[in-house]
Structure 1
Amino acid sequence: MPPPNLGTVSSRDATARQLTFDELDTPLRDTTFVVVDLETTGSNSGDDAITEIGAVKIRGGEVIGEMSTFVDPGRTLPPFIVQLTGITSAMLVDAPRIEQVLPSFLEFARGAVLVAHNAPFDIGFLRAATTRCDIAWPPFQVLCTVRLARRVLSRDEAPSVKLSALADLFQVSTRPTHRALDDARATVDVLHALIERVGNLGVHSYPELVDYLPNVSAAQRGKRGLAAHLPRTPGVYLFRGPSDEVLYVGTAVNLQRRVRGYFTGSETRARMKEMVALATRVDHVECAHGLEAGVRELRLLAAHAPPYNRRSKFPKRAWWITLTDEAFPRLSITRRAGRDALGPFTNRTDATDIAATITEACRLRQCTRKIRPDGVHGPDCPDDAVGGCPAGSTPQSAAQYSVTVDLTRDLIRGETDRPLLALRARIEDLAASELFENAARLRDRTAALGIALRRCQRLAAVAAIDELVAARPRDEGGWEFAVIRSGRLASAGVAARGVAPMPVVDALTLSAETVLPDPSPLRGAMADEVRLVANWLDSPGVRIVRATDGYREPARGAGSWQEWCALARGAGEYAERAPHPRH
């Protein structure tokens, strides 16, 4: 059999490429569609095979190319398929195999929107075939004329949306015959008739057509214009209500595409639909890259507390573990971070549990009575062995007790890990004594402490650098830049491909925000912001352009304990999932 018939293809398609969703925001008359129909050996794309492919390429209501070919399925056709399609096994003897046909079809369809009547069937078979042939499936936009017909036509007008029924309704020029090319040609006429119908409803581009398909209220769809002025760049968007109040804040890689989604059927959350109904305008802050957008979102959430944002997204007033300011300090849970504080913690319970572990490991006092600087601790406290104060009942002066306080400070700063070593030794002793449940509880508490220490030490290491300029490569070429001062993003920008980067860096540094740090571990920065910055610095490809000081975590800090903590956490999670024996 001859190779697939590609018909006539205009020269404009020779360099076609796959279009993105936003590039398709052009009139439907300028959008290229490839209408495809398949004949197969059955209905299961996993077990059955394609026997015929028919495809028609159209643009602006005109046919600009056709493709038609039999495909050897490598098996005998079932009798009911022969009866339905008229295709016999003898007709497929010299036909090419699917691995020969697929590259031609994918090239024919490249850069177009794929259309099929009952698209899940046809596209499902094509995708299954590409998988079996080890060919990557291109990111096609797909339109189903069954779904479009059901959306456009009432059930009184079209009780059935089968291709034969729609062919009768629209009086198509080519009758469907259960042969691939005939059915594809019939689907072309049906598509044109349906597009003519939706054009009268104000749907004139492919994204508008996609937005129209779900059952979206006219009021929701009518607010689509609120996104019209937005750029297709990264940034932060703010929905505002009738009194100019901020209703919702979000970030996007593409502002226009993201905000437009709120006015389509893709938005199914009742709370968001309620917000959209109240919205009167959408403001935006264009950002250089994702890090800047994330930081600006945090700051706007903190400033406005929008009612439709989830509370879990708000920058939190964190909890910190600090040493009290007295002659015999103990640990306290506060909202303010002192010089040697440990945190941040999102809830007080976690902070309290970690503080109890530190108190036990460092043998700090737990009693709350006030002790004069010239007094002693111990005589009035029962020993820790009988459930009393971890500092013990032995009398200690303030000078003697200060050794314990210094050990606690050194643990938090990462200058020693002796308390962690002592806890691990106790775990091993408990396990050796076959007190496995006690050992497991202490293991989990020690792992939680190690993770909390590392988190604080990591963020503090970023905040300790007065100024750090870093660069990350962009996917499209060039560089993203961030000027970070004391853990806060002070300036952000990009250098496009071919632009000299260092003048951009110099300009960003000169225009960067002035930061006045305080003596707390994060030097006054929001914990969530420092975490965003630290994660960005850890991302692949980031390079340090210049810095006032090197990034460093303490040598005896909790960083070296993370492998042990991960193993301990994994053991705890496994124990929780494992079935418990019945007695």
Structure 2
Amino acid sequence: MTHTSSHTPGTFRASVPSVPHPARGLLISEATFCIVDTETTGSRAGDDRLIEVGAVRMVGGEVVEEFQQLIDPERHVPRRITRLTGISTGMVYGQPTVREVMPRFREFLGDSIMVAHNLPFDLRFLDLALDEAGLPPIQNPAVDTLRLARRLLSALPSKGLSRLTEHFGIEVKGRHRALGDAGATAELLWILLSRMQIEFGVETVEDLLTFQHRRYKDTRREPSHLKKIREEMLPDLPERPGVYSMRDGRGRVIYVGKAKNLKNRVRSYFVGVENHPPKTKKLVRDVREVTWDETGTELAALLDESRRIKSLLPVYNRALRRYRDYPFLRLDVSSTYPTISWVPRIAHDGAEYYGPLARRGQADELVELIGRLFKLRECDENVFNLGRPCLYHEMGRCGAPCLGGVADAYADEVERVRAFLTGRDTDALDALEAAMHEAAANREFESAAWYRDQRERLTTTLGRQKQIASPVHDHNVVLVEPLAPGYAGFENGGAQLFLMRHGRLAARVDIASNLGAGEIEDLRETLDEHFDPLASPPEAHLRADVDEMRILAAWMRRFPAPARQVRWHESMSSDDFLDAVLKAAGSALPDAEEEPVEEEEL
């Protein structure tokens, strides 16, 4: 039996319903899409019949519901169709007919936006089936991913579903089966929608329906906001370090980043957009303005970036959004027999603090490792005052100072711990290796693995600590960084000085490459003010202070050369310290080979 349709086959008319559809005004992220695929006995609607319908309902890029049904075509399924789809006559015999299936399919489709790859083909078969079931043809807004691909992917020789899924790495769970192809088309749709949003500002369903009917030459035009940024903002960017802010259409800061070279870094967002990861593409789609501030050095940019992100909380910054409690190792020297532990904060309590460490797990491991390698007591004051050995002594982890008479030996052990914590004593590595081999020989493989892992981690930790060979409160140093020529009127460059006192940043000073007598005297006064031998350490370090300490400590490890770090101690005269700083500043030159610090990722 031949079925006729109330519309002309091949006419792409379902995307323009006679009555305005409520979905047309929705944002794409809020709209419901129904992605459909059909399998048939052939390619001629009317002569050939449906044998399967598959569909997925998608909202916000997520599939929320599926529909799949084999259909009895009430005729033989050709062998070539069986070879292609795997659907045989026996599989569809006794299945519901289109008269039974179409009402359920129509209910699943609802008022959603219908999507298919080569939409007219599927529409012809579906409308004929609906007509047979006594239902009106589909009038939903409709999108053809084939049309979208032709406009967006002109360089691809083929726009067929197989070629596109291969190109985008989409996994098809059942190729040439209706539900499998519908699911793959759904993934393809979301990829194409993302690209349209970034490159053409397509935000609403109305924009999408209009876009698919654009002439090919109109789809080659660049989005207006990208053109404006490239032409009006990027040319003014300096080739010097700084911090940049990206703002959306409402003027809100949505991303903050730092750069060693502002021009190169910011420009990289707006060229080769198609090759960016999805989140960066979305950022480029939303940004409407770029502003920046020069900092003179990359270190200053790192510090300013961290502060701004925590202050503004831009939506596209994943890391650095909150101040964290970084753990510190605490050597309590208030007792004749000091103990080691870790704490989340620093206090001015006479103890020695080492760090900051990256995470609490690392702090736990180091305290445990010190307990195994050195014989510091691990009991609390109440247990210690009982005057009898505890479990740790029985385990060989303590020399039982509670019994008295070992003060000198204990002091030597404390000094070994200090040397270990500042990277000056690497005997611990040999001890760990020996312990590992001994545990393995005794077939204590779990302990051997622990010692092996600790040795690997300790190798890294000691390498870092070696550059900061003192407790936190004793970090008194001037970091010297070459100043970018042209920054803030320093045409011939100069140096940027970071004054660290009692472990935290006290001041930042920019000086020219050639200082006059008055400027040298001003620098002396600044150094004398902050490096006053009588100044007491701060009562406490706030989270913001510790965050700066973490950044500065990482920088000191990266640039350990004495020329970049002028250390101060109380015995230095004002003249000697000033001369050392001026000498370092005079030799401060940018290193063309240095690796850039990794930027905070999106």
TM-score normalised by L of structure 2: 0.43
Larger radius of gyration: 2
TM-score normalised by L of structure 1: 0.45
